[in-house]
Structure 1
Amino acid sequence: MSAHCINIAISGISSKASDELKIELRQIIPNHFDINWVNISNKNIDLLLIHAKFFDTQGIQQLIKERKFLFLKISNEYRAVSSILENNTLFPPFQESKTLQKWIQSHLLNYISNKEPSDETSNTLPQKSDISNTISLDSMLKLKNTYLHLFDNHGTLAIIDTFQEVVWLEPTRLQIKTNNSFNYELAKTEHFTFVSKKTEYNLKDWIWNLFWYSTEYQGLIIDENDYYKIDYWPQPSQNLDQKMILQLSACFIQGAQLSQVMRRLKLPIKTVQQFISACIISNNGKIISAAESRYQYNDMPIATEQQGFLNKFFGKMRSRFGL
């Protein structure tokens, strides 16, 4: 168990209740603790959330006796106010539960602070696999009719369906970003308990956003004199970046030189390289020759009298892509 990572297992609970508890626990547990959502078979569980009707089974009782971790029994019986009664039974509603917050502070955080770090910590973290490719996800995205589990050293990021090209997210990862420990593997049944299927996200758009916002992947070496052509327009997930990304996309969809785009849009070269880095990793486009470029430096005039036309153009693009 890492001093900064809490291993929590959930078993026998509906996906709706599981999602609610994950979100509530992430809000209650201080941010300097990572939460690692683990399977009940994990040897380093700190807290088990188990449906009350399964608690007295021989297997569960044996696990608690042998590993001596904390537990909360989860009931389906709604109360007017969330409560924890004797024998550690939590009753819904779970949202904004002061009772759960007090229990976490007095039991779980106290337990974590008094527990010596384990030498088995490394076993709880994802290990690099032979199929990992941190420069391009081309091999991953070419795996058809497959469910893949995406993760990093903070735990599960998502599960992707390469056939339908959709993504299901781990609900407590509130920020779309990762680091150089990013990896993937074939999804197992247990991995589906870590994600919520309430909302599906477009695979290509989500992957692009993941690496656009991941600072450790923004420094891929691509020279400012290189030419690059994207295959599709990335869809930014945050309003703050929409206009700039649309402008960059409008240039690179034609095939453009990085330095020309930098000068035309008056952006730092690092921002242009960040955009192309996200495209390279998400397998959106390729480096091309100057002869293949269709972008002209004067394609997007910025003179005052023509600024209205530019605004109208990007307005149409936002409407077209629902931004």
Structure 2
Amino acid sequence: MTKTLNIAVFGLNTTDINQLKTQIVLCLPSNTQPNWVNIAEEKIDVLFVTDIFFNSIGIQNTLKERAQRYLKLTKSNRDFGKIIGDQLFYPFSDLTYLSKWFSQELLPNTDETIQLKPNNKNFHLNTKNEFLTVLKSETTLEQVFSEIFTPRNGYIQLFDANGFIALVDTRTERVWIEENMTGLQFNDSLNQTYATSQIVHENTEGKLIYDLRTWLWQTLSHSSMLTLPKAQMNQNFKLDIWPQFAKNMHRRDDLKMAACFSEGANIRAVQQHLNSTDEKILNFVSCASLLQLGRFIESDEVKFSTDINQIQMNQTNKLRNFFGKFRKKLGL
């Protein structure tokens, strides 16, 4: 009879996660299959979590409420693969200690002695995650982005319920991401934590570097799994910094919205002027607000108007000011 273990791995980059999952499979008996879950799963038979995230509130709640067993992953230049107390030292290739741990801790009633599976080229492991991750946390999305744009924080890590996403330098507003992390979308478990010098070294060497706000805009504005802070259609918004829009089918609409809001505009007025949907306009405003590219303003600061007479008057005033400055310069 085949047995299933709910196993979660948290805190590693994609390459290390895939490697560890392969090693876990090799350590399980032939009648036991892993069911890869995230830390929001109701029941977790074993959780592998890095020591960096171990003491975070979210992980501690998971250990108390849902995880039956755990191993704390600790990077080391020695003790490769050894398990001392609750710590599993990685990276490793010797699976003896992990196999023994599974036998003693998770499979005490099995009649089968674990035989290590040969690690050959024919072995294939599908580690693709196909689920919506929602990690309950006391941290709000606004707080996460506030920390991202606080220069004194230095280097921080972005992560979600699936694990590590990117390394951010809050001082220079640069971000390092995994090379194979294409099509990334944020979800409601998005969070941040500090980064040690060792983590900074590991995640900057040989990684792709992006401008922080550009990368965040392109990721955030297309993250359908993320619940953005809600703006109201009757509010007014002013765009202070234009985002760097991707060259795609949405670029034209984004540029139009940016042009309207750069003057300071009522959200409903822009929606009606561009004949756009409420969802598209509100998504633009919410993203710009989160990334501190603009701010909500009072009605007396609104300069954008769809009234033809008002537009003509503004244009006339601009011309008068121009010729006034020109005449003054000529001394007329």
For Structure 1 versus Structure 2, the TM-score category normalised by the shorter chain is 0.5 to 0.7
Residue in structure 2 matching 1:65, options 83, 96, 101: 96
Kindly indicate whether residue 178 of structure 2 is the aligned counterpart of residue 170 of structure 1.
yes
- SS of the aligned residue for 1:267 comes to coil
Query: Any residues of structure 2 matched to 1:1-323 within 5 Å, and which?
Result: 3=6, 5=8, 39=50, 58-60=79-81, 64-68=95-99, 88=119, 99=121, 102-105=122-125, 128=137, 132-135=139-142, 137-144=145-152, 146-189=154-197, 191-192=199-200, 193=202, 197-217=206-226, 219-237=228-246, 239-297=248-306
Q: How many Å separate the matches in 2 of 1:283 and 1:227?
A: 15
Amino acid corresponding to residue 227 of structure 1 in structure 2: N
Shift of 1:289: 1.3
Shift of 1:187: 1.0
Residues 167 and 202 in structure 1, CA contact (< 8 A), matched pair in contact too: yes
Question: Distance in 2 between the 1:4 and 1:262 partners?
Answer: 47
Task: Give TM-score scaled by structure 2 length.
Answer: 0.56
Residues 1:9 and 1:270: Cα distance change in structure 2 (over 3 Å) = closer
Go from structure 1 to structure 2 and tell me whether the alpha carbon gap of 1:67 and 1:203 turns closer, same or farther (over 3 Å shift). same
Task: Give unmatched runs, 5+ long, in structure 2.
Answer: 23-34, 40-47, 55-68, 89-94, 101-116, 128-133, 309-332
CA distances 1:218-272 after superposition (whole Å, capped 9, x unpaired):
5532221111001211123461321111111111111111111111111101110
Which shifted more, 182-191 or 263-272? 182-191
Paired residue type of 2:124: I
Q: Map Cα deviations across residues 257-295 of structure 1 (whole Å, 9 max, x no partner).
A: 111111111110111001111112112211111211121
Q: Is the 8 A contact 1:229 1:252 kept in 2?
A: yes
Cα contact 1:165–1:202 (8 A) shared by 2: yes
Question: Is the 1:177–1:213 Cα contact (8 Å) retained in structure 2?
Answer: yes
- Aligned equivalents of 1:58 and 1:153: distance in 2? 28
> What amino acid maps onto 2:278 in structure 1?
I
The structure with the larger Rg is 2
Q: 1:173 to 1:241 in 2, by over 3 A?
A: same
Task: Report the identity percentage.
Answer: 21
3-state SS of paired residue (1:291): helix
Gaps of 5+ in 1: 11-17, 26-31, 70-85, 90-98, 110-124, 300-323
SS at match of 1:60: coil
The one-letter code sitting in structure 2 at the alignment partner of 1:248 is M
- Tell me if structure 2 keeps the 8 A contact 1:228–1:286: yes
State how many pairs are aligned. Answer: 234
The 1:182–1:219 alpha-carbon spacing in structure 2 relative to 1, beyond 3 Å, is: closer
User: Relative to structure 1, is the Cα distance of residues 67 and 225 closer, same or farther in structure 2, using a 3 angstrom cutoff?
Assistant: same
Instruction: Determine if contact 2:176/2:203 at 8 Å carries over to the other structure.
Output: no
Q: What TM-score do the two structures reach when normalised by structure 1?
A: 0.58
Offset, 1:157 = 1.4
Please give the root-mean-square deviation of Cα atoms over the aligned residues, in Å: 4.4
Query: Secondary structure in 1 aligned to 2:233?
Result: coil
Give the letter aligned to residue 97 of structure 2. Answer: E
CA change 1:88–1:216 in 2 (3 A) is closer
